Amino acid sequence: MKFLQKLGKSLMLPVACLPICGILMGLGYLMCPATMQGGDITGIVQQIGYYLVKAGGALIDNMAILFAIGIGVGMADENDGTAGLAALASWLMITNLLSTANVSVIMTLSENATLAFNKIQNPFIGIIAGIIGSMCYNKFKGTRLPDWLSFFSGKRCVAIVAGVVSIIVSVVLLFVWPLIFGALIALGEAIVSLDAVGAGIYAFFNRLLIPFGLHHALNNVFWFDTIGLGDLTHFWAGETSADVTWSLGMYMSGFFPCMMFGIPGAALAMVHTAKPAKKKVAIGLVTSAAIAAFVCGVTEPFEFAFMFLAPGLYVVYAVLYGIFVTITTIVGFRAGFSFSAGATDLLFSASLPAAAKTWMIIPLGIAAFIVFYVVFRFAITKFNLKTPGREDDDTDETTVQLANNDFTEVARIVLEGVGGKDNVTSIDNCITRLRLEIKDYTKVNEKKIKSAGVAGVIRPGKTSVQVIIGTKVQFVADEFKKLCK
């Protein structure tokens, strides 16, 4: 769980890039519908809209790379950029080695395997690359090589080691990835026969697989022509349910109330349950994410903000999608999307022949907002989940005043109190605490640490020491790192 929480914290940096992209794309689609529908782009307004869409898409389309670099830096000791470079090297190597063009040179690919390797540039691989980069940095940053290789000692060897690890990981994925992708396609084919319930099951797995980027496999089954279904392509081709063997739009419609109204409801619950001192931070993060979801259905900024901090809540979130997609299919609301289920796509799909009862987005949306809000608020408070604004740091710590503003002296005393630099294995800090990992807990002298004028000392584990300093912790942490070099 500690690993997942650190992973979730690391994702905050790249996730912060995404809300503005969603808003830009939503505005762009409103100004230039031709971007979505494939028509001619004429006039200054449409041209501006086109560029807004492309500006937002530049990051949305490369989200996996942002994740690789963000996780690489975020999970590395000292948040060193070297780990981000190693993560990028890992991403480039894995995605290049496992590209369809390169894999087809060494083996004959089936149709499903070809589909699988066509989708290798996904967030799951980005997360793997980020973890590889950070772990290689943490393990090999201090490596000393023989004199004739001394140029590559220390941090310079991190990217090299990450590259070697990436080759090994690529070999494993060469055989594992098509099996995973194929299993998901088989699952999709089985779901098709279950009508409205099947649509709900599909939506559940669609959300559940978002963290790994594997939802693309299911999407190919339901939205495109992988098995002759193509809910999305038939819908935008101007066909109706009379032209196909299923209720056209059933695998898209239910996402609209969830993304446009359910996510804002869940976001409001997170704001209301955030700690008072962190409420502004929570508002800034989830409000922009909720706007992106409502305008154009970009949900990743919201989802990645809590999926690793509270994985159980994310499963509940996926279940809510399944329920609402089933209900939406049954009541007959039909709309489609070419990008995602936001207000923009709803507006432009409402005039298509397969669209039906689009006015029902109001009652369905109100219901989704209320249900998501109530469920999220209950789960967060009942189980004390660490959603944005509810991290482990105590609220009162933000008002702590450090008794001594000589940060070098404070750091020196704390270092002496934890047994010296030889006893420290990791240095990190959050908003109010200096977080240390140590070798020998018997060398820790809490009385000595407190004599530095800090507010308190917490020992969450045998190898962990947290010193409560207050909002000036960054200055102390910087001096502490200097003393440990």
**What DSSP designation does 334 have?**
B
Asked if residue 24 lies in contact with residue 335, where contact means CB atoms within 8 angstroms, the answer is: no
CB-CB neighbours of 59 under 10 Å = 18
d(CA 367, CA 258): 10
DSSP state of 249: T
List the catalytic residue out of 17, 21, 32, 430. Answer: 430
Of the candidates 325, 357, 324, 352, the residue with the CA atom closest to the CA atom of residue 338: 352
- Phi and psi for 460 in degrees, rounded to 5? -70, -15
Tokens describing residue 135: 């772990």
Residue 17 annotated in active site? no
In the numeric block, the tokens 């690359």 are attached to 129
Tell me, what amino acid is at 300? E
Contacts 24+ apart (CB under 8 A), 310-316: 310/380, 310/385, 310/386, 310/387, 311/4, 312/379, 312/383, 312/385, 313/376, 313/379, 313/380, 313/385, 313/387, 314/207, 314/208, 314/211, 315/208, 316/375, 316/376, 316/379
- Inter-CA distances, 296 with 191, 234, 239, 362, 394, Å: 27, 21, 23, 17, 36
Rounded Cα–Cα distance for residues 389 and 240 (Å): 46
DSSP 399-440: G---S---HHHHHHHHHHHTT-GGGEEEEEE-SSEEEEEES-
The greatest distance separating any two alpha carbons of the chain, rounded to the nearest whole angstrom, comes to 79
Give the Cβ contact number of residue 93 at 10 Å.
20
Residues acting as catalytic residues: 430
